[in-house]
């Protein structure tokens, strides 16, 4: 098994009754890579991602995440990945500090480690003034950044981001991507779904899903050449229209 490939997927398929949500997808993700997982709503992105993070069982196919089999070793996968959902799920009625402590706790970090993490995290995000405020009172952009940092609290090998920048302004999105780059530079693999095509340009490689299948997979540059498109948006439109 290749150590540089942190995600290996082969012929992964998920069926709900007769409906094939994810149809025979195959791809690899390299260590430290920012891998963009693109597709229209309903293309099967979220279903594919749920299989990789161990909360949905594949119908058939093979997949290894962080070196562990999704069929037999979901528990080990969970220890080695971080996850941020599109709902930036933090607890609104807990303070910034309490949220960090709670999530550090469920990943089994020691009390001392949680304290250290909380301090660096609050400092890096500039949340010092609001550390003891309820998360519910923070602006959305701050919640997102906090949620991302919390998903990294146990230093996972891979972090899965499900449409992390939905609903915020371009400046906040830009800042958010700076956090992603920083994490990637430190060796964390980033697996990110998005439907903002400008964000696709920030990724090292992107895959585009249409109707449950991966129709294209390469660097943004090569994809633009292949489809003779000026930007990723055109690539996407060409693919989606068939």
Give min distance, CB of 40 to another protein, in A: 21
Q: How far is CA 136 from the centre of its chain?
A: 23
- Asked if 12 is part of the footprint of another protein (rule: CB under 8 A), the reply reads no
Are 175 and 141 in contact by the 8 Å Cβ rule? The answer is yes
# chain residues binding another protein, by CB under 8 A:
29
- Quick one: which segment of 84-92, 172-180, 207-215, 221-229 binds another protein (CB under 8 A)? 84-92
Nearer to another protein, 71 or 107 (CB): 107
Nearer to another protein, 91 or 181 (CB): 91
Give min distance, CB of 97 to another protein, in A: 12
- Asked if 57 is part of the footprint of another protein (rule: CB under 8 A), the reply reads yes
Give min distance, CB of 83 to another protein, in A: 4
Give min distance, CB of 94 to another protein, in A: 6
Nearer to another protein, 192 or 210 (CB): 192
- Asked if 222 is part of the footprint of another protein (rule: CB under 8 A), the reply reads no
Give min distance, CB of 15 to another protein, in A: 12
- Asked if 107 is part of the footprint of another protein (rule: CB under 8 A), the reply reads yes
- Asked if 71 is part of the footprint of another protein (rule: CB under 8 A), the reply reads no
Place of tokens 């799920």: 89
DSSP string, 64-93: EETTEETTT-HHHHHHHEEEE-TT----TT
- Asked if 91 is part of the footprint of another protein (rule: CB under 8 A), the reply reads yes
Interacting residues toward another protein by CB under 8 A: 53-57, 75, 78-79, 81, 83, 85-94, 98, 101-103, 105-108, 134
């Amino acid at each position: 098994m290749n150590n540089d490939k942190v995600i290996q997927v082969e012929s992964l398929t998920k069926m709900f009754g007769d409906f094939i949500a994810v149809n025979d997808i195959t791809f690899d993700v390299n260590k430290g890579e920012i891998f963009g997982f693109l597709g229209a709503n309903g293309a099967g992105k979220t279903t594919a991602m749920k299989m990789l993070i161990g909360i949905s069982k594949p119908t058939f196919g093979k997949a290894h995440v962080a070196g562990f089999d999704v069929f037999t070793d979901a528990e080990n996968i969970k220890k080695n990945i971080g996850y941020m959902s599109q709902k930036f799920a933090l607890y609104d009625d807990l303070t910034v500090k309490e949220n960090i402590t709670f999530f550090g706790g469920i990943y089994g970090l020691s009390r001392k480690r949680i304290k250290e993490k909380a301090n660096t995290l609050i400092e890096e995000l500039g949340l010092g003034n609001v550390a003891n405020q309820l998360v519910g009172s923070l602006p959305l952009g701050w919640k997102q950044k906090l949620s991302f940092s919390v998903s990294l609290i146990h230093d996972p090998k891979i972090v899965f981001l499900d449409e992390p920048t939905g609903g915020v302004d371009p400046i906040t999105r830009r800042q958010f991507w700076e956090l992603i780059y920083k994490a990637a530079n430190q060796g964390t693999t980033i697996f990110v779904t998005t439907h903002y095509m400008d964000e696709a340009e920030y990724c090292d490689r992107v895959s585009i899903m249409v109707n449950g299948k991966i129709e294209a997979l390469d660097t943004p540059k090569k994809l633009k050449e292949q489809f003779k498109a000026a930007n990723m948006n055109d690539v996407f439109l060409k693919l989606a229209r068939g």
